[in-house]
Structure 1
């Protein structure tokens, strides 16, 4: 490099000029080339664009035709089939899914739960009732087996063995069925007498200057709250009669007969009597006897059988009320009165001695020695 910048500058000027000229020449040629190229490109681009437009236009028209044909075919394919329309018209309209089955199943399930609960509750109650019935029936049978038992003290009983109860019983005095309030010992079903059991009640009667107290007992099979129709029922009665001045009488009697609606079907039945008469005021025993045979069902009285006294005498035959009317009276010493009786005395008949010989003839109350 020259130390003199000016000289160097002058010295290098021609070269620079040439270079600039060459660049200018080059630039001009490039412009020409660019112009020609650009013109060519413009011509070509215009032609290409035209061709492209023509091409894409043709393509678009072709596609349009194809689309139109396709749509036409699609429309043609979508034309409704008359047969299909008729078939669809004949078909029932599809129903929406109903919630009724679910509701029905829920109701059934709830009912099953309720019924199951009731059944289980009733089962537990029946088991408890069965257990209690065992005790009740045992107590009723104990009473029935004790033949000389005519009174029951309610306060002495466990409350689990009895229920308070009212039973309609026919009254021969009133000639109608009357309700009797008492209590029942025995088997229960649904809280009412059903099965084996005892009904007990009491009554009071004050007439003619005497005071009477009655204890009544009915023993047998029960059905739906009543004594079972056409079943055999045992009746027990204790009549305690206090006369104001004379005596105190206790009468006990029992009998067994067929039960109907509220009472027995016969006027007489097989039974027993126990009679005690105690004099007042000393308390001496006037009469003491027992009877076995036919008894009155609608009153207190004997019909036929044997009556035994405490002093070893006895009577056999037919009775009216509590007196022998026809038959034999056996005295303690062996004497026998045989015939018809009035007011307890032989009225027509024969008196036999203890050895069997005839002692007297009695006619219309008159005695004639043999």
Structure 2
């Protein structure tokens, strides 16, 4: 069974603010469209994804799907109905068995919602299946003041994706008069049998600016700490936060002994409970001898993002009598920001001494203490 998810993302959506179509506005550091793609792509029953876009949005689209291998986007039309039909007709050369038509503005579709759609379409009597939530609020008519009530029994709030057998939906679209707002209306006008499946409040539609604030409820905050120590040894420089600093001694370690990046790496790994730096880059492995530690930090950041996470902020304190950190702080901050793909103001680097106490006070080595905060999908 081949299933194509067709994401309709050709609208203008300017009510959401930010000066660009809402499907390209960021939520937790990622465009809304990318969230929609990632949630659908994660379901094993969906074999491919196609996106319908406005022709003027190609640059925004390319940036949103950076790193993904998707077919070329399909150009949409003047209305949502036109765009959806253009997307369906673009699939004719290699027609799928099933098609899920989805709005990019409903970016956070949980797997159980998709499971229910596929289960409904196992019944050959159903041409389609649509998720919906029952209306639970009281309904009243009125203009300025209330007049009469509306019976809410058997009333539903319809969501997407809406799943159909591809040939039936394509034929229904081609026969439909203008004015339809979704595939369900087109299917019912064509006499198709469409099952109701359970919707989910998390698959809400983002339309107004406040909806983007609500979308952050899809994420939970995590914070974790990291700590590292390296002893001084022979050498004429040290590496700290990816910056080469001339010094009377070097730092001893299997890699480049960058205590700052090592502590930050452990902090990020801690936010996703992924062990520590030694688990991923064991010092017993000769391939990491002398390795640049930015590779370790970049790996930890990629693991966070692979979980759907967003790095919010990192904070590092370097503990040493020497070398002096102040003259190099700006360069360190910029380097860490580059490695993590963050803005410089999302990186804090500080330094302190132990007032000549302990091994750092005796200049036998230095230490680094880090904190990282991220948001992960709930």
Bin of the TM-score, shorter chain as denominator length? under 0.3
Structure having the higher strand fraction is 1
Higher RCO (C-alpha under 8 Å, 6+ residues apart) = 2
Q: TM-score, normalised by structure 2?
A: 0.18
